[in-house]
A and B are shown apart, each in its own frame.
Chain A
Amino acid sequence: MSPFPRRRRPAYGSVGLCSGRALPLAVSCVLFSGNAAFAQSGTSIFAPAATPARSIFDLSMLVLGVTLAIFLIVGGLLLYALIRYRSRPEHSDREPAQIYGSNQIELSWTVIPILIVVTLFLSTTRVILGTQAIPKPDTAMNVTVIGHQFWWEYRYPSLGVVTANELHIPTSDPAHPTPTYLTMSSADTDHSFWVPRLAGKTDVIPNQINTMWIDPEQPGLYLGQCAQYCGAQHAKMLLRVYAQSPGEFSAWIEQQRQPAVQDFAGNPVAAEGQAVFMHNACINCHAIVGTVATGRFGPDLTHLASRDTIASGAFQNTPRNLRQWIDNPNSMKPGSLMPAMHLNDHDLDVITAYLTQLR
């Protein structure tokens, strides 16, 4: 039986010249050209450096492959139909055969997509379970992440360390995995923790605890930023994850566990800076372990000088930047919640000298 049961007048047939719309094909080439270009970017999702990112990458290659195939087939057929059946002057007075449908054809193009959907669904489920439904190993490093407007707070509960904005974690040897488990919540609005080379993003939500894990093998600095709009300075709530070899990580922990530097015997400027700091409103928001500063609204400053950046990765940690930040945060990050402290030049100088000593 003919697959076209309700054909009427015969269609004419002759092949015309090719005048393709190459645009869609070029576009797909551009979109999917070369992992090499992507791998050079420090935040490319196609340059995985940890297991969660890698399993996503593998899945994404399958999905991209399937969708590319669908695009080439369907797009190709469409292009062909447009060229082959374009109107030609010699046919201007005839209508083509009116075909109203065909159950067999429509069935086939229902069944095939269903099969594709099932395949993609099963592959996807496997990765979901492999990331979200596996038990936490005993060797995991636990870090508590608290999102703030517009900075990140990190606590290592078992190690007694509190820091901000630069997350240090040990690398993980695949033979004896030591993944880092992040337990996350927010102190104010929604945020999202996204370091593309390590894992997909997980939102950081008030009154809710979300967990994720990362296990980079190679030491290095992995970059990311907040990925859920959280207010004026969402754009500069950057993430810096320092993966360190176990030895270096232990050394870093040891340093962070020390109370703040208090001995300024040879440095009267810094000593004065400490006194000015402790007599100002700074102590209401910031904590420096071992002093009267115990505020938790802003980042912990105990080891501020050990960090590469300030203002959540937005600026290099130099005395000049630090001084300007303390003087007027809104000149660097408009909308930041730290108020301008209205200190005079002398106080600014000495406080900066103090803070740069807090390694």
Chain B
Amino acid sequence: MSTTYAVEGIDGTPATQQSRPPLNVVFEWLTTVDHKKIGLMYITYALIFLVIGGVQAVLMRIQLAVSNNHFVSPQVFNRLFTMHGTTMIFFVAMPIVFGWGNYLVPLMIGARDMAFPRLNAFSFWISAFAGLLLYFSYVGASGLYAAGSAPDVGWFAYAPLTARVFSPGHSTDYWTLAVFLSGIGSIGTCLNFATTIISMRCKGMKMSKMPLLVWLYLVMSGLVFVTISPLTAAQIMLTMDRYLGSHFFDTQAGGSAVLWMHFFWIFGHPEVYVLILPSFAIINEVVPVFSRKAIFGYPTMVAASVGIGFISTSVWAHHMFSVGMGAAANTFFVFATMVISVPTGMKIFNWLATIWGGKVIFATPMLFCIGFLFQFLIAGLTGIMLGSAPFDWQLTNSYFVVAHFHYVIVGGILFAVFAAFYYWYPKVTGRMLSETLGKWHFWLFVIGFHLTFDFMHIPGILGMPRRIYTYEASRGWDGLNMIVGIGTVFQAVGILVFVYNMVHSYFKGKEAGPDPWDAWTLEWSTSSPPPDYNFAVLPAVKSRRPLWDLKHPEDPDSDYE
């Protein structure tokens, strides 16, 4: 029988470069509602803050490289770890994930833009403002008590340390307001993702035919709605305590410090899943292309992702095993935490099965995916250790936890994000990134990552708590902290190579064409970069890999789905 494919073909038109006055260009970017430009602004913004957050990390590691060091004062150190954590979570990880989603989701579902383009722009600008507001605290927070500067209460701002009496001045308020505003931006962006994915898919793309990246952004968006809001609510309560004299977390009036912890972690735990789901999304797109095989077990991957989303809302108090919740509560949260490892493990096995029997190409995007797979596996296993409450009674609030979550965020999320850069940079710019520089970036970063974060587990086991600006010489933590610090040098150089690669390749990189990787999803059917309107004719699809069907008309995926 004859079958017609409405994906007309792959558009190889090279993008026309017209030179325009710089002021026009700036104005266009400032007022754009185009999802691609907004996505790129998110990504650029996140990269800038990545460098700032990285500098903060390096300063901390210098202070901790030897015992009883005096490189920075305790007050400066306490601000450094607060700002480092807040910056990396809210102004690096969230924006970069939203940026890539903004760019890719409409292209992958055959749409011309997001559902609410102006809301999209608003969400970006309010998040951007929030980041600037947080950093303004360095100069603006002195307030009446001259007891200010940047916030120093830790990124999770436990009560009652954040009460007026223990944190006078306005530094805490900068934290609260900046994170609050970024939360508004996040909810707006995810409202856009969810509506776009549900209401704007091209013809024939039923939910069961969407790329897995799109599924994961949908689950992430749902999670954001129920996860950012508790933090927003808690911050409203905190600000009321500080300024209206309310008693939500006022232990002197019978309030509960633990209530803040519950509210914060009801946000905080699903938040890390908000960050990891898009990383899974990237792996789901890149690994099949560089294994030359379809993803193994698409329906299971969808089910596992949705399952992870749901279960992640029930595990939060594994961050609170040591606060004295009692045996029953501790037991419940151990159970929920261990259960979430099942769908997570299934995803790892499915990735393994995708590679198995395939034809693995070790291009830079795939190298970063491989790093992700090993490192996320390790991170998940240390997560199981932390999920066992008694073991956690020793490990929590120590450098073991710091090592674990950096393993997930740097070894997992950041590696996936690097893979995304190397994979989609050709689509965004029309040029390939240098493979040589890419491999330098990869190996430098892998070496640095493992020097820092593998060895960081050990001081935790040896009793080193987190958030300390110095430590006794007799503890035996010196050498390990020094190695941890040395690793940061390699990572910093790796990032420099990466930035240079992106800038240099923009001007001198090889022309990419529309489909340099021989991939299968709809974004590769447009020119590189895509025209403003994405698709001249909106496509219609019949399977999960429309371009595979196009390239293999004798054996389309739709026969097998």
Contact = CB atoms under 8 A, between A and B. Distances in A.
Binding between chains A and B: yes
Interface of A: 6, 8, 11, 21, 23-24, 27, 30-31, 38, 40-46, 53, 55-56, 59-60, 63-64, 67, 70-71, 74-75, 77-78, 81-82, 85-87, 91, 94-102, 105-106, 109-110, 113-114, 117, 120-121, 123-125, 127-129, 131-133, 149, 188-190, 192, 194, 196, 199-203, 205-208, 210-211, 223-236, 238, 334-335
Interface stretch (B33-41, B378-386, B421-429): B378-386
Name which of B257, B292, B393, B476 has the most chain A CB atoms within 10 A of its CB.
Answer: B393
B434 interface: no
A233 B468 CA distance: 8
B357 A227 contact: no
Given A11-B357, A229-B161, 12 more contacts: A41-B476, A60-B391, A63-B391, A74-B348, A86-B360, A101-B300, A106-B350, A113-B341, A117-B339, A128-B390, A189-B166, A205-B323
Contacts of A238: 472
A113 B350 CA distance: 14
B358 A55 contact: no
B462 A201 contact: no
A82 B300 CA distance: 23
B166 A121 contact: no
A41 B348 CA distance: 36
B406 interface: no
Contacts of A231: 78, 161, 166
B322 interface: yes
Nearest to A11: B357
Contacts of B397: 192, 194, 201, 227-228
Interface of B: 73-75, 78, 154, 158, 160-161, 166, 251-252, 254-258, 291-294, 296-300, 322-324, 326-327, 330-331, 334-335, 338-339, 341-342, 345-346, 348-350, 352-353, 355-362, 370, 373-374, 377-378, 381-382, 384-385, 388-398, 446, 450, 454-455, 457-458, 461-472, 474-476, 552, 555, 557, 560-561
Contact of A200 (B353, B360, B394): B394
A68 to B, nearest CB: 8
28 contacts: A6-B560, A38-B462, A42-B463, A44-B462, A63-B385, A85-B357, A87-B292, A91-B359, A95-B552, A96-B291, A96-B293, A96-B359, A105-B353, A106-B297, A125-B334, A129-B331, A133-B327, A192-B397, A200-B393, A201-B322, A202-B393, A205-B258, A207-B257, A208-B256, A210-B323, A231-B78, A235-B471, A334-B74
Contacts of A59: 388, 390-391
A334 B73 CA distance: 8
A190 to B, nearest CB: 6
Contacts of B323: 203, 205, 210
A40 B466 CA distance: 21
A207 B393 contact: no
A206 to B, nearest CB: 4
* A-B complex: 4 closest residue pairs judged by Cβ atoms: A200-B393, A43-B463, A235-B468, A210-B324
Given A63-B384, A231-B161, A233-B74, A40 B356 contact: no
A229 B467 contact: yes
A299 to B, nearest CB: 20
Contacts of B255: 207
Nearest to B345: A113
A207 B381 contact: no
A199 B393 CA distance: 8
A207 B297 contact: no
Given A31-B458, A63-B384, A67-B385, A121 B359 contact: no
Contacts of A91: 359
Given A78-B373, A190-B161, A208-B258, A27 B450 contact: yes
Contacts of A232: 74-75, 78
B346 A128 contact: no
Contacts of A225: 465, 468
Contact of A21 (B294, B355, B374, B454): B374
A203 to B, nearest CB: 5
Contacts of A106: 297, 300, 346, 349-350
Contacts of A228: 158, 397
A117 B465 contact: no
Given A98-B294, A194-B463, A208-B257, A200 B390 contact: yes
B385 A114 contact: no
Contacts of A41: 462-463, 475-476
